Every structure is written in C-alpha cells, then in structure tokens.
A and B are shown apart, each in its own frame.
Chain A
Amino acid sequence: MSSWQGKTRGGQFGYWFFIQVLKYPGIHFAYFFLHFVSTYFVVFVAKARKPIISYFVDIHKYSKWKAFKLTFRNFYVFGQVIIDKVALMAGFSNKFTFNFDGEENIKSMAESEGGLLIGAHIGNWEIAGHLLKRINTNVHIVMLQAEHEKIKSMLDDVMEEKKIKIIPIKDDFSHLFMIKEALQKNEIVAIHGDRFLPGTNTISRKFFGKEAEFPLGPFLLATKYNKPVSFVNAFKETSTHYHFYASKPIKKVAKASIEGRIEASINLLDDYLINLESMLKKYPEQWFNYYYFWGKY
C-alpha cells in the first residue's frame, strides 16, 4: 500500500507571487496562467499525472481519453484551489461566494462539547477555515510541520482571524498534547483523515471497492476523548463559488476496553469513507492525492 511521502510542491516565493498577482491584475489573471502550469504538469510531471489517470480509469472506470481530459482539469482546479486559498487567507474574501450545507452542525458542536472536523485532500478543505470564522469558538487546524513552516511567515502577516490556530504535526508528539488540550476545552479540532506518514497507525479498508490504507489516529482521537465528529469538505462549483458540506455530528460509544475503542474508531472510519465516496462521486475531479492511493494495480 502507498503512503504520502510528506512532500508538497511550491514555496514561499510562490505564495508571495500569487498575492502580488491577486492584488494587482486580479484572480482571473492568476487563473489564466494555470493553463500553462496544468499543461506542464500533464506533459512533464509523470509522477503526479500517472496516479491521477489511474484514479479516473481504475476507480471511476472512465475511458482513457476522458481520464486524460479530467487529469488536465484536475491540475487546473487544484491550481485554482491553491490561489483561492491564498486569496482568502490574504483577505480577498469578497471575490467568492459560498453556500453552506450543515453550518448548524458545526455550530451545535461549538456550543456544546466541541469535537473533530475530519476532512480529506479533496476540494478546498482549507477554505473551511475561512468559513469557520462565523463559528464562535477556537478552531485548531492540524497540519504537517513542513506545510506549516512553508506558509507560516506569510500567513502570520495576512491571516486576519486569530481564532483559527495551527497545530503542527511534529515527531515529539507535541501535537497530540495540543489536540488533547483543545478538545478538553470543548474547542474544535480540524484534521485530515485520508493521508498518513510512514510509521503511523493505519488500517486497510475498502474504498470504492478496493483496499486502501487509512490513518486510524484521527478516529481514535474522537473515541478516546468521547467527542463528536463531523465530516467536512468544500468544493469549487464555479470559478468563484464554493459549496461547503458539514455532516451531522456523530459520536461512537466505545466500550471501555482497548479493543472496544479500536472497533468504534474503525466504525467511524467506515462512516467517513461512505461520506468521502459520495462526495467524490459528485466531484470526481477534485481529488488531490497525487500518489497511488490504492497502491499500484
């Protein structure tokens, strides 16, 4: 089975450049350049192209020609999503419109015992951070240390909303202590449930009918601290419109034993996968895991 190797493309200069483009010529000018970037990726970056073509052909059963066209679309939308993310964090929120499905679900969690928002590398999950400003509680976003450091200096300058806090994943487990603290204060912790780094606790589950590895950690957190979970995603529907989804909070009652807790966590993971499949059937081109997620077949 494959795991993500912890590398992301792009750098601080890239983010700075995007902000300058957004400020002056505007967002559609930035989008225009994506045609060249997407073409470059489709033609020259086989490492990213091949897993996506395989995803469309082997998972969605599309023809090779359709898969090829959708792969270009996938790179293009991914580029747009990155631009939008920087634009929103930099305060250009008036350029976008949103509709919310299930905002009340997150509000009810924030008003009671807090909980976990579990997303995936699909759509524009980070944009949810912007939407969560409307929820009157601290929201902690768990992300990889490398990703956090890359954008930290820029975000510190431009991030307007201090209620959103980043918990960087580190080798010393400090993120686990921070997550525990946040959950004990009945705050909200947002985390991804689809990727894992080598050496972490994973489990193989059927996803679109094929076995794939998933991290158990995010789901164990929910059962360990007895907190509700909502599955969240935000998808790009037009160039400036997003649709945000937050599922009804669910809480799995775990038996006191370790086995009981693991069983409840796996149940939660299965619910997550059902939600993820239904979202990807609706928005297949917004899948942004650029590696062989199901392994090579």
Chain B
Amino acid sequence: MGRDYVVEKVNEFLIDEFELEPEQLIPDALMKDDLDIESLDFVDIAVIIEKEFKLKVTSEQMVKIKKLDDLYNFILEAQKN
C-alpha cells in the first residue's frame, strides 16, 4: 500500500464520517483547529484505521497525531512494521 492509497482512503473516510470538504484536506491541516476533529472523533478514526488497514492503534499513538500528514505517516510507518 503506497502513500497515494493511504491518502485516498483516509480522505475518503474523513469526508464521509466528518463531513469535511476535499479542499480542507491538505497535509498541513491541523486535526483539531482546522478540521474540527475532537478527542471523541479520534476514537472513530482509530476504529476505521484498524478496520481499513488492519492495524492496531493505541490511544498513546493517536494523541501524537496533530496534523493530517501525521495521520498519513503514522499509517505508512505502522504498515512497514
């Protein structure tokens, strides 16, 4: 799974689940301030990552994700391991 696939899948669920517009989804977008993603939403994101990418996500890992790019990179790194 390459970066393009991860970006496409992540953006897809952010648009579907959080009613975000595609133009908001730039890598530097801050999850909380720019995308209005609250702590409770991180639980949903963790569930989707687990389902979509078959990865185990912990709350400690989720709390480090500040920007959208961090989320893409986290999935890519976790897949390598």
Chain A min CB distance to B73 (Å): 19
Q: Is the CB of B46 within 8 A of A177?
A: yes
The main secondary structure of chain A at its interface with chain B is helix
Interface membership of B74, Cβ < 8 A: no
Instruction: Give the segment of B1-9, B22-30, B56-64 that binds chain A.
Output: B56-64
Q: Which residue of B lies closest to A257 (CB)?
A: B19
CA separation between A180 and B45, bound complex, in Å? 13
Do B42 and A173 have beta carbons less than 8 Å apart? yes
Cβ of B79 within 8 Å of any chain A Cβ, yes or no, is no
Residues of the A chain whose Cβ atoms lie less than 8 Å from the Cβ of B42: 173, 176
CB under 8 Å from chain A, chain B span 50-75:
58-60, 62-63
Point out the residues of chain A lying under 8 angstroms from B43, CB to CB: 173, 176-177, 180
Docked-complex contact A173 and B18, CB < 8 angstroms:
no
Q: Are B60 and A201 in contact (CB under 8 A)?
A: no
Which residues of B lie under 8 Å from residue A258 when comparing CB positions?
18-19
How many chain-B residues does the 8 Å CB contact rule pick out?
13
Q: Which residues of B contact A201 (CB under 8 A)?
A: 38-40
Q: Name, among B19, B39, B42, the residue most crowded by chain A CB atoms within 10 Å (CB to CB).
A: B39
Classify chain A: how many residues form its interface, as a range: 10 to 19
Contact with B along A212-251 (1 / 0, CB 8 A): 0000010011001000000000000000000000000000
Q: How far is the CB of B21 from chain A (nearest CB, A)?
A: 13
A172 touching B19, Cβ below 8 Å = no
- Residues of B34-50 at the interface with A, using a CB-CB cut-off of 8 Å, are 38-40, 42-43, 46
Instruction: Give the nearest-CB partner of B64 in chain A.
Output: A172
Given A177-B46, A257-B19, A258-B19: A172 touches B59 (CB 8 Å cut-off): yes
22 pairs from A and B in contact (CB 8 Å cutoff): A170-B59, A172-B59, A172-B60, A172-B62, A172-B63, A173-B42, A173-B63, A174-B59, A174-B60, A176-B39, A176-B42, A176-B43, A177-B43, A177-B46, A177-B59, A180-B43, A201-B38, A220-B40, A221-B40, A224-B40, A257-B19, A258-B18
